Structure 1
Amino acid sequence: MKRVALWLVSEVGEGETFTKEALREAFPGVSQVDRRMRDLRDFGWRINTNREDAGLDSHEQRFVERGDPVWEPGRATRKSGTTAIGAGRRREVIEQDGHMCRSCGIVPGDVYPDTDQAAQLDIARREVLKPDGAKVTEMITECKRCRIGGRALVADLGRVLKEAAALSSIEREVLSGWVKANERQFSRLEQLWSAYRSLPEESRARLRHELGLG
């Protein structure tokens, strides 16, 4: 891991891309060199794949930012709570989250309405502030676009105008009010539903318990 870190700094450079083949060629005979590089993320190193950066091909990665200098004595001790998410735990979280992105609601394989891209799901770590003031990290399912900020988003004014024209008179009046005020006031229940929907499953279970739903 230390050698990979030095290779990224000296040979690749921050902000630059590299391929898996180049990594393996740089360390011939080293087993699981890909995993050793991924371990750097536990020490604050940002190395993106096409899951985080839509501009990358599947065989490319980008060295975004260096983290702790793990080659220095005492700096390569693994931090607590940053172990990799195994395949079994990944499947469990996605199943608990209803096989959908908890941020936008899309399910895997569905095409985003404003692009020709199909959704892919992944696991993210989200900080949750508990009622007692403690802050914990829980896992949640998100689609790739929500994780990378929607860089592929394309605004379709024609679709918006077409759908607006198809509204009933009552719906049109409601929409006009929102547009005129340049905001929409959500009810308290709508706000609670939105907040609940975006919680990780462990925290959603707490609210279900409070509501007597088991």
Structure 2
Amino acid sequence: MKRVALWLVSEVGEGEAFTKEALREAFPGVSQVDRRMRDLRDFGWLIATNREDDGLDSHEQRFVKRGDPVWEPGRATRRSGTTAIGAGRRREVIEQDGRMCRSCGITPGNPYADTDEAAQLDIARRKVLKPDGTKVTELITECKRCRIGGKELVADLGRVLSEAAALSSIEREVLSGWMEADERQFGRLEQLWSDYRSLPEESRAHLRKQLGLG
């Protein structure tokens, strides 16, 4: 895994695509080198396939972003209680989550607003507090931006001002009220929908069952 990480950094480069054949040729005789590379995801490495990046062929992957420097002493120790997420389980979670980021709703390949950056989906571990007080970790689909934060985002004040100027008088009055209070009060249904939408599928299914939806 450490050697694969160094190969990605030194030979492929962030943002660049590579083929499965190139990976195997770089490590002749190494068994399950694909799985060694997938293990890097547990250390914050983002590696996309054509499921997350529509610009890739089925035999290609993209080195999106490096994570922890696993080649450094003590950095390749798997976090306590975590296990690798297999490709089959990864596909299952993404399908259950509607092939979209459960935090912002974007789907793979679609550009973020006002950017040319295409969304890429990955699996995150979400802590869930159960009704009996126990805390468990469930899997949920999130895009790269929601998972690692918006460090590269640039606020576009000009766009915000233009959109505000185009509001109707009623919309402007509502927005002004939110601004004066510095908060927006959601109705009970709106809040419940938002909470439901951001739950992992296992917990969403629990709520659906409670409401008699199967």
- Which whole-Å deviations, capped at 9, do the CAs of 1:155-193 have from their partners, x for residues lacking one? 222221222122111111010111122221222322221
Q: 1:64 aligns with which of 55, 65, 68?
A: 68
Inter-partner Cα distance in structure 1 for 2:168 and 2:41 = 52
What SS is found at the alignment partner of 1:112? coil
Structure 2 partner of 1:145: 145
Contact 2:106/2:143 (CA < 8 Å) preserved in 1?
yes
Inter-partner Cα distance in structure 2 for 1:29 and 1:58 = 23
Contact 2:93/2:139 (CA < 8 Å) preserved in 1?
yes
Structure 1 partner of 2:174: 174
- Which whole-Å deviations, capped at 9, do the CAs of 1:51-95 have from their partners, x for residues lacking one? 6xxxxx945864625599599xxx89x965513222x32222112
Q: Which has the larger radius of gyration?
A: 1
Inter-partner Cα distance in structure 2 for 1:208 and 1:60 = 35
What SS is found at the alignment partner of 1:30? coil
Inter-partner Cα distance in structure 2 for 1:65 and 1:94 = 27
Structure 2 partner of 1:163: 163
- Which whole-Å deviations, capped at 9, do the CAs of 1:101-124 have from their partners, x for residues lacking one? 100011122211131111111211
Contact 1:114/1:155 (CA < 8 Å) preserved in 2?
no
Structure 2 partner of 1:205: 205
Inter-partner Cα distance in structure 1 for 2:41 and 2:166 = 49
Inter-partner Cα distance in structure 2 for 1:107 and 1:40 = 23
What SS is found at the alignment partner of 1:64? coil
Structure 2 partner of 1:85: 86
Inter-partner Cα distance in structure 1 for 2:213 and 2:108 = 28
What SS is found at the alignment partner of 1:138? strand
Contact 1:102/1:140 (CA < 8 Å) preserved in 2?
yes
Is the deviation greater in 30-39 or in 195-204?
30-39
Inter-partner Cα distance in structure 2 for 1:163 and 1:41 = 39
Q: 1:18 to 1:35 in 2, by over 3 A?
A: farther
Contact 1:103/1:198 (CA < 8 Å) preserved in 2?
yes
Structure 2 partner of 1:54: none
Structure 1 partner of 2:189: 189
Q: 1:105 to 1:49 in 2, by over 3 A?
A: closer
Inter-partner Cα distance in structure 2 for 1:116 and 1:188 = 36
For structure 2, the 5+ residue unaligned runs are 13-17, 49-60
Residue 131 (structure 1) shift: 0.8
Inter-partner Cα distance in structure 2 for 1:212 and 1:201 = 16
2:105 is aligned with 1:108: no
Inter-partner Cα distance in structure 2 for 1:60 and 1:186 = 36
2:45 is aligned with 1:48: yes
- Which whole-Å deviations, capped at 9, do the CAs of 1:126-174 have from their partners, x for residues lacking one? 1111111122121111111111202232222222122212211111101
2:132 is aligned with 1:135: no
